[in-house]
C-alpha cells in the first residue's frame, strides 16, 4: 500500500474484476444455446461414433474365451497329473531294479562317492 488512496482504488478495481468475470461467465453460459455454440466453435476434432456398440456380443465373446482358457488349464493340469503319476511309477520301478541288483543306493559299482576326487593309480 505504498501508493495510498490510489493503491486502494486499484485493489478495489482488481477485486471487482475478480468477482465480475466468473459471475458474468456463469450468467452468459447458463443458456444451453450459447453453450452449444461455444462448444461447437472450439471443437477442432470430431470423433466418429463408437463402432463397438454391441456390448452383449462382446461380453459373450469374452465369456467364451474365458471358458476356453479354463478348459485348457484343466486339460493341462490333468496332463501334469498323469506325468507325475508316470514319474512316480518309474521311480518305483527304478528302486525295485536297484533292490534286485543288490546296490544299496550307490550305483557306482562299489566305489565311494568322492572317488573321482582321488587320483587313480
Shared domain for 55 and 14, answered yes or no, is no
- 0.75 cut: is pTM over it? no
Q: Please tell me the total count of domains within the chain.
A: 2
- Say whether both 56 and 98 belong to one domain: yes
The pLDDT value given to residue 120: 55
Asked if residue 38 lies in contact with residue 29, where contact means CB atoms within 8 angstroms, the answer is yes
Whether the per-residue pLDDT at 89 is higher than 70: the answer is yes
CB atoms within 10 A of CB 92: 10
| pLDDT for residue 31 | 87
Which cell numbers hold the place of 10? Answer: 486499484
Q: pLDDT tens digits for 8-63?
A: 889 999 999 999 999 999 998 888 888 888 877 777 667 666 666 777 888 899 99
pLDDT cut 70: percent of the chain above it: 74
Question: Same domain, yes or no, for 61 and 18?
Answer: no
26, 71: one domain: no
Please tell me whether residues 42 and 62 are part of one structural domain: no
pLDDT at 108 over 60: no
Question: Is 117's pLDDT higher than 70?
Answer: no
From residue 100, give the alpha-carbon distance in Å to each of 51, 79, 86, 90, 112. Answer: 73, 32, 21, 15, 20
Question: Are 17 and 30 found together in one domain?
Answer: yes
- Domain region containing 34: 1-46
Amino acid at each position: 500500500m505504498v501508493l495510498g488512496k490510489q493503491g486502494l482504488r486499484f485493489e478495489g478495481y482488481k477485486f471487482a474484476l475478480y468477482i465480475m468475470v466468473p459471475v458474468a461467465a456463469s450468467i452468459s453460459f447458463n443458456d444451453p444455446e450459447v453453450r452449444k455454440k461455444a462448444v461447437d466453435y472450439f471443437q477442432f476434432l470430431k470423433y466418429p461414433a463408437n463402432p463397438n456398440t454391441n456390448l452383449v456380443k462382446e461380453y459373450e465373446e469374452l465369456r467364451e474365451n474365458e471358458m476356453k482358457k479354463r478348459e485348457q488349464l484343466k486339460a493341462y493340469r490333468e496332463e501334469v497329473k498323469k506325468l507325475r503319476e508316470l514319474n512316480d511309477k518309474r521311480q518305483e520301478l527304478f528302486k525295485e531294479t536297484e533292490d534286485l541288483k543288490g546296490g544299496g543306493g550307490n550305483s557306482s559299482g562299489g566305489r565311494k562317492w568322492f572317488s573321482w576326487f582321488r587320483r587313480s593309480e
